Structure 1
Amino acid sequence: MRTTATASPPRSRTTLWALTATHAGNDFFTGAVAALLPFFVLYAGYSYAAVAGITLAATALSSIAQPAFGYLGDRFGLRWMSLAGLLVAGAGVAVSGLLADWYPAVWAAIALSGIGVAAYHPAATMEARTAGGGTSGAMSLFSVGGNVGVALAPAAVVLVVGWFGLSGTALLAAPAVVLGAVYVLAARRAARSVEPCAAASERTPAAAPPHAEPVVAVRERDDWRSFGWLTAVLAMWSVAYVGTSAFVALYAIDRFGATPEFASLALSLFPAAGAVGTLLGGWLADRIGRLHVVRGGYLLAVLSILGIILAPGAEAVVVATAALGFSLFLPFAPQITLSHTYLPNRIGVASGLTLGLTLSLGGLATPLLGALADASGLQSVFVAMACLVAAGLALSFTLGERRRPGAPNPAPEDAAIPA
């Protein structure tokens, strides 16, 4: 096995925070799609199967596009895809409400938004990994931006739809424009700060600290078998995440007669609690090990879904949904960094698959959940999701950690199977 000396990837707090902000903007549109579903039912007369089809539109092409974008990112860089994806995601959602009377056009607009989301994630995740040094904690900070965006979306949707009707979705393009500008400014600032450092390093070689050992990069093999098991685990996660986003508000409305405005609280608290879970999960993973966090999160998620199923009222549904958001996102960042250890030579592909294909698999399953809801009621949807998350918990025991090469005293997340 060949080794070469290399420097550690440069970290940049400014870049990491800017990417976290754009992640909030990008995933805002994922949350906006879910928040729009009850209004398409109430104002445009769509069936449960029809709104499930909209969820499929947001994810169907992403299931193919996001891994492809990841491959292109590994091969050619293409960091501009994060900005382009953000803008396209915003454009698709912005025009969807304007086309509510023509279902195929709505489907196409939401599909376009899904492609934008797909383009954003691999490129932005690769940048965030570099800016944050590859730790689970830094990845959790980047990931929590997505939670924040999804959490803010329902309130924004209720505001614009309540004031302007479905045509108000045009105003939802604002986060893409504003945060896209923030990203451009941060990128220019980072470029200016790098240039003087590069010039100085050319004049004077950097001196190593006393007693410092050279950083050694070892070319590892890609562990596709373990990555395949991880993808299967994430597929179960995906169905629970997308299914809850699509149906929990409708469930509170249908079963307990909640108003759309009150039901939207569940859509806000779900990702908001997920933000707390994401940050805590990254922090715990760096201390007690990723797999402990992953398995604990899935176990708590099963219990939370049971809370939704057995809830005595709409208020209990909202509380249980918040608990589910916390539980599902507890293992989120550890799963991403684990995927990078399984495919160390294909970080873009690993990011595209874990962030894109797995979410898209949930979207592909959503029409089946919609048909189940039309046939047996919305409660049966959550019973099915509880079973799938339990299956994900069982599958997580097929996973093992990969020890980073050159780490003589592995941290808890590194200890276990050989590379």
Structure 2
Amino acid sequence: MALSRTDVGSRRKLLALTATHAGNDFYTGAVAALLPFFVLHAHYSYAAVAGITLASTALSSVAQPLFGYLSDRYGLRWLSLAGFVLAGAGVALSGILVESYLAVWVVIAASGIGVAAYHPAATMEAREAGGGSNGSMSFFSVGGNVGVALAPAAVVLVVGRFGLAGTLWLMIPAIILGSVYVVATWRDISSPSAKTSVSSSSQAPTLSDSWRLFAWLTAVLATWSIAYVGTSTFISLYATEKFQSSTAEAAVALSVFPAAGAIGTLIGGFLADRFGRLRVIRAGYLLAACSTVAIVLAPTELSLTIATAALGVSLFVPFAAQITLSHSYLPNRIGVASGVTLGLTLSLGGVVSPLLGAAADRHGVWSVFVIMSLVLIAGFALSWILAERRTESSPVEEALTTGKYS
């Protein structure tokens, strides 16, 4: 059956958003990939590089729910593009400013703000384009995994060839993918109807927001965040410390983690639509806890890579389900739900990362993964408090099905 013009436009839009999501999260991955170079070439301590991770997430922690509110209230579709470009600019400048730790901290913080601006607006657009299913959300989400997975290889390539000043070349994805997004979604960006439809739908809520359930979900997501940020920050350093791996060899584990996460995200979206979100979330946390233990016990580099891949798959299996579950808990505040789910909770991991860095400095990097296994077990336990919730009568769902946002 031939696709209607609306179907084709929605698919094109979802593809463009997935591409920019890859680019946006590429810069998050680039920060993690740059950390070993900051240690080796700028002689930063583990605590100092953990502080850089904090820089990329601290302001984002506060800003992302705010950007979500603005997206709910005013539309502001351009936030996704502006945030994407800022995320790229901050990372691109970090390498040439490496002589000043404060300057690096500031530009990485600016990149984090860009990431914060991007996620709520882009997630709302992806939800609109995909009809709100777990499958479509997993497809959009997997773009982020792909971007993070590509970042280590790109960082090794440019920094290995040009030194830390080569980070300027990392601005290229923002320029190219930002242009693709503008071409694919120009009608939506320039249309005033987006603001009108969002505002009008928020004036007549037909299903209440469950802040209690959302608070419990946020607590679960906080444990996910600590595991994600902790692995992204320390897996390369762990490989270097335990097996004396080179920077390029250590980057393999860092690339495998989000690449496996992409597989887990797609699998999780399918399983959540088929078996239910809560089952998928609980299984993911339990398997992730086991995988962190396997990382600690890994006797060889190959086994470490396999354990890291297992952690990537299991940790991301719940990802799309957690996003759509947050939307069901706050059906009248999709932007805020997206901002907290993709921003605030992820940033909580960044806030904890200096503590993980201090543990690594004192006991060795292996201790970080022991801590994360305990945190993931806590997340598994908390997930049993969550409950399923349907939103068939919510204004957002009505808008999606009637085409008010198109």
- Report the TM-score when normalising by structure 2: 0.91
Bigger helix share: 2
Instruction: In structure 2, give the amino acid aligned to 1:169.
Output: T
Question: Secondary structure at the residue paired with 1:220?
Answer: coil
Q: 1:116 aligns with which of 111, 114, 117?
A: 114
Confirm or deny that 1:398 pairs with 2:400.
Answer: no
Within 2, Cα distance between the matches of 1:241 and 1:377?
Answer: 19
Within 2, Cα distance between the matches of 1:190 and 1:406?
Answer: 25
Aligned twin of 2:19: 21
Q: 1:339 aligns with which of 307, 316, 326?
A: 326
Within 1, Cα distance between the matches of 2:241 and 2:205?
Answer: 56
Instruction: In structure 1, give the amino acid aligned to 2:249.
Output: F
Q: 1:145 aligns with which of 143, 146, 154?
A: 143
Instruction: In structure 2, give the amino acid aligned to 1:350.
Output: A
Confirm or deny that 1:178 pairs with 2:192.
Answer: no
Cα RMSD (Å)? 2.0
Q: 2:316 aligns with which of 290, 308, 329?
A: 329
The 5 A counterparts of 1:6-85 are 12-85=10-83
Q: In 1, are the aligned partners of 2:206 and 2:393 still within 8 Å (CA)?
A: no
Aligned twin of 1:356: 343
Aligned twin of 2:90: 92
Displacement of 1:314 in angstroms is: 1.9
Aligned twin of 2:296: 309
Confirm or deny that 1:230 pairs with 2:224.
Answer: no
Instruction: In structure 2, give the amino acid aligned to 1:229.
Output: W
Displacement of 1:60 in angstroms is: 0.3
Evaluate the alpha carbon distance shift between residue 368 and residue 141 of structure 1 in structure 2; reply closer, same or farther with a 3 A threshold.
Answer: same
Question: Secondary structure at the residue paired with 2:389?
Answer: coil
Question: Secondary structure at the residue paired with 1:404?
Answer: coil
Evaluate the alpha carbon distance shift between residue 11 and residue 231 of structure 1 in structure 2; reply closer, same or farther with a 3 A threshold.
Answer: farther
Displacement of 1:173 in angstroms is: 0.5
Aligned twin of 1:160: 158
Q: C-alpha offsets along residues 122-171 of structure 1, whole Å, 9 cap, x if unaligned? A: 00000000000000000000000000000000000000000001000000
Within 2, Cα distance between the matches of 1:60 and 1:218?
Answer: 32
Displacement of 1:387 in angstroms is: 0.2
Aligned twin of 1:262: 249
Aligned twin of 1:368: 355
Q: In 1, are the aligned partners of 2:331 and 2:391 still within 8 Å (CA)?
A: no
Q: 1:135 aligns with which of 120, 133, 136?
A: 133
Question: Secondary structure at the residue paired with 1:222?
Answer: coil
* Count of residues in correspondence between the two structures: 379
Aligned twin of 1:105: 103
Aligned twin of 1:289: 276
Q: In 2, are the aligned partners of 1:294 and 1:334 still within 8 Å (CA)?
A: yes
Instruction: In structure 1, give the amino acid aligned to 2:382.
Output: L
Aligned twin of 2:236: 249
Within 2, Cα distance between the matches of 1:17 and 1:338?
Answer: 23
Displacement of 1:104 in angstroms is: 0.3
Confirm or deny that 1:239 pairs with 2:237.
Answer: no
Confirm or deny that 1:377 pairs with 2:356.
Answer: no
Q: In 2, are the aligned partners of 1:147 and 1:272 still within 8 Å (CA)?
A: yes
Displacement of 1:403 in angstroms is: 2.7
Instruction: In structure 2, give the amino acid aligned to 1:144.
Output: V
Displacement of 1:319 in angstroms is: 1.2
Displacement of 1:318 in angstroms is: 1.3
Displacement of 1:404 in angstroms is: 3.3
Q: In 2, are the aligned partners of 1:11 and 1:130 still within 8 Å (CA)?
A: no
Instruction: In structure 2, give the amino acid aligned to 1:265.
Output: V
Evaluate the alpha carbon distance shift between residue 223 and residue 406 of structure 1 in structure 2; reply closer, same or farther with a 3 A threshold.
Answer: closer
Q: Where do 5+ consecutive residues of structure 1 fail to align?
A: 1-7, 196-216, 408-419
Q: Where do 5+ consecutive residues of structure 2 fail to align?
A: 1-5, 194-203, 395-406
Q: In 2, are the aligned partners of 1:10 and 1:130 still within 8 Å (CA)?
A: no
Evaluate the alpha carbon distance shift between residue 406 and residue 109 of structure 1 in structure 2; reply closer, same or farther with a 3 A threshold.
Answer: closer
Within 2, Cα distance between the matches of 1:273 and 1:330?
Answer: 10
Within 1, Cα distance between the matches of 2:183 and 2:172?
Answer: 17
Aligned twin of 2:373: 386
Instruction: In structure 2, give the amino acid aligned to 1:159.
Output: L
Displacement of 1:102 in angstroms is: 0.6
- Report the TM-score when normalising by structure 1: 0.88
Instruction: In structure 1, give the amino acid aligned to 2:165.
Output: S
Runs of 4+ that moved beyond 4 A: 8-11, 189-193
Displacement of 1:15 in angstroms is: 0.3
Displacement of 1:190 in angstroms is: 6.5
Displacement of 1:401 in angstroms is: 0.2
Within 2, Cα distance between the matches of 1:183 and 1:268?
Answer: 25
Displacement of 1:313 in angstroms is: 1.7
Displacement of 1:405 in angstroms is: 3.9
Q: In 2, are the aligned partners of 1:14 and 1:190 still within 8 Å (CA)?
A: no
Question: Secondary structure at the residue paired with 1:78?
Answer: coil
Displacement of 1:11 in angstroms is: 7.3
Within 1, Cα distance between the matches of 2:92 and 2:366?
Answer: 31
